[in-house]
Each structure stands twice: as C-alpha cells, then as structure tokens.
C-alpha cells in the first residue's frame, strides 16, 4: 500500500477507540474528534438552541470540508493494482457493496464452494500494540521511511459441498500468516452462510467444536495445509489488511460527504 494511505489509516485510528464486535455484527465506527477543534459555546435554552444554530451548522460544514480535502489528498483515484493482481493470481471473485462493512471473496475448488468473509471494521478495532513496530519518527518522516504496517484481520472461511454440509473455519490474518482459531461443522450447508435472524438463532444452539489449539498438533498442521490448498494462504493474509485499508478510506470519505450534504441541506 502507498505510504500516504498507511499514514492516513494511522491518523484515522488515533481518532477513535471502538470495542471489538463479532464479524457478523461489525459496523463501521464513526470517527471521533472531527469536531475537536470547534470552539465550545455556552449552552443556551433559547429559541436558537431549540431549533438549531446556523452558525454552528456552518462551522460543522467547514470542518467536514477540511477533513474531506485532507482525505482526498491521500485517496487513490483508481483501484490499486494489487487488487486485480491478487484476484487473477488466486482465482477469487470479489463481492464488495459500497456502504457495507463486510466484504466477500469467493471461488470454487473441485466440488467445493469457498467463501471468505471479512469486515473493514477491524481497522477500527486494531489496538495500539498492533502498530508498535512503526517508529514514531518514521510515521512523521518521509514516505519512503515509513515501515510496513500490519494489523489483524478476522476472516471467516466457509467450505461447502452440495448435500454434504459445510465447515466454517474462523481465522486471523496478520503479518503474512493465517492463524486458525476454530473449526465448525454444519450438517446443512445453507446454515453456514445464511444471514437471517432464524439462521443466527439456530447457529447459537450448535456444538461449536473444541478449541483449535487443543487439537493434536498433527491435526492442526493438516488443517493449515487444507486451507493453503484452497487459496487461504500467505497471499490472502497479505491482501486482507491492504484491502481493508483501501476500502475503509473510500467508505470514510463517502461518509464525510454524506454527512456534510445532510448538515448543509
């Protein structure tokens, strides 16, 4: 990723602290401190306080404009080449709807349908320790001096076979590695991917399996190789954080524009 985009993400992360949420319930967290520099005015219960203040509205629009200009200076006008390169080299199809938090990668492998689900909110939930390897001087210095930044991205990998059910493998991608956290089996393959209140309720009642770390080491190793054979490998582990940064930048810029349009209407 471009170093300017990395610095933009770090700048954004420093503005907010969001509690960790389950992947299926993750949402984009609003950035804090956009109004940090707006002068604080005494509260009034007069007519202007009840019906809004044009002055405050104008100040808010001005601050949002400043933030939009800053983010556009770090925005990439065209889709970065790393996206198409990854998709072509790894036979994945990307499903990414503007305004949505979750992103899906899909592919087939023999008689299997593979889905990788991840959320851009992971960049909001990244702890400060995730960036401890980036020296402060590098972040403020020249772009070529900025150290690579990696943060954990949770990815739910579902492998489904028609009439045979599905397994969902919860993983974390970071520093070029895919770490398995759990393996769940669904007798009904649709239950593994269906997004509805009824499906969610049924999933909660199922046995979720043992802790992956407690399995025999040989079993753990073979599960890792099982995923690698299906394209859940180092290339994917490197792709996910980069794509999360790219999409989060786009979504934040659009959020700023939408809010500005609303306030100024």
CA distances from 165 to 107, 109, 147, 161, 187 (A): 17, 15, 43, 6, 4
* C-alpha span between 210 and 233 (Å, rounded): 23
* Residue 75: pLDDT over 70: yes
Please tell me the number of Cα atoms within 13 Å of 110 on its side-chain side.
Answer: 7
What percent of the chain shows pLDDT beyond 70? 70
C-alpha 187/C-alpha 93 separation (Å) is 26
Q: How many residues are recorded in the chain?
A: 265
DSSP, collapsed to helix, strand or coil, labels residue 246 as helix
pTM listed for this prediction: 0.71
pLDDT band at 49 (very low <50, low <70, confident <90, very high): very low
pLDDT of residue 109: 96
User: How many CB atoms are located within 10 Å of the residue 171 CB?
Assistant: 26
Q: What is the mean pLDDT of residues 54-60?
A: 89
Question: What's residue 12's pLDDT?
Answer: 46
User: Average pLDDT for residues 64-84, to the nearest whole number?
Assistant: 88
Q: Which two tokens stand for residue 239?
A: 């792709």
What is residue 89's predicted lDDT score, i.e. its pLDDT? 95
Tell me the per-residue pLDDT of 168-204, one tens digit each, with 9 for 90 and over.
999 999 999 999 999 999 998 888 888 878 878 888 8
The pLDDT tens digits of the residues spanning 107-146 come to 999 999 999 999 998 776 654 445 444 444 544 445 455 5
Distance CA 206, CA 209 (A): 9
**Is pLDDT of 232 > 70?**
yes
CATH of the structural domain 90-241, one choice from 3.90.1150.10, 3.10.280.10, 3.10.20.440, 3.40.50.720: 3.10.280.10
| 10 pLDDT more than 70 | no
Residue of 7 and 175 predicted with greater confidence: 175
Instruction: Count Cβ atoms below 10 Å from residue 139 Cβ, excluding itself.
Output: 17
Q: Where are the domains of the chain?
A: 90-241
Q: Which tokens in the block code for residue 178?
A: 């895919």
122 in helix, strand or coil?
helix
Q: What is the pLDDT of residues 77-104, one digit of tens each?
A: 788 999 999 999 999 999 999 999 999 9
């Amino acid at each position: 990723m471009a170093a300017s985009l990395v610095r933009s993400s770090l700048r954004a992360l420093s503005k907010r602290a969001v509690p960790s949420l389950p992947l299926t319930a993750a949402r984009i967290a609003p950035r804090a401190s956009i109004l940090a520099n707006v002068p604080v005015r005494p509260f009034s219960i007069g007519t202007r306080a009840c019906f809004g203040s044009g002055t405050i509205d104008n100040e808010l629009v001005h601050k949002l404009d400043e933030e939009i200009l800053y983010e556009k200076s770090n925005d990439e006008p065209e889709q970065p080449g790393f996206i198409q390169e990854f998709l072509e080299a790894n036979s994945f199809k990307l499903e990414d709807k503007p305004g949505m938090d979750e992103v899906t990668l899909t592919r087939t492998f023999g008689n299997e349908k593979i889905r990788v689900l991840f959320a851009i909110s992971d960049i909001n939930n990244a702890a400060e320790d995730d960036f401890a390897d980036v020296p402060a001087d590098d972040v403020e210095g020249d772009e070529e001096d900025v150290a690579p930044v990696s943060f954990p991205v949770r990815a739910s990998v579902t492998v489904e076979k028609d009439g045979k059910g599905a397994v969902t493998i919860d993983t974390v991608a970071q520093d070029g590695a895919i770490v398995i956290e759990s393996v769940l089996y669904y007798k009904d393959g649709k239950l593994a991917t269906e997004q509805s209140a009824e499906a969610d309720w049924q999933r909660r009642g199922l046995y979720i399996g043992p802790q992956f770390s407690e399995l025999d080491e040989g079993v753990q190793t073979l599960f890792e190789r099982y995923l690698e054979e299906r394209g859940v490998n180092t290339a994917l582990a490197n792709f996910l954080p980069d794509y999360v940064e790219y999409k989060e930048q786009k979504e934040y810029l659009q959020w700023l524009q939408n809010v500005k349009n609303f306030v100024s209407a």
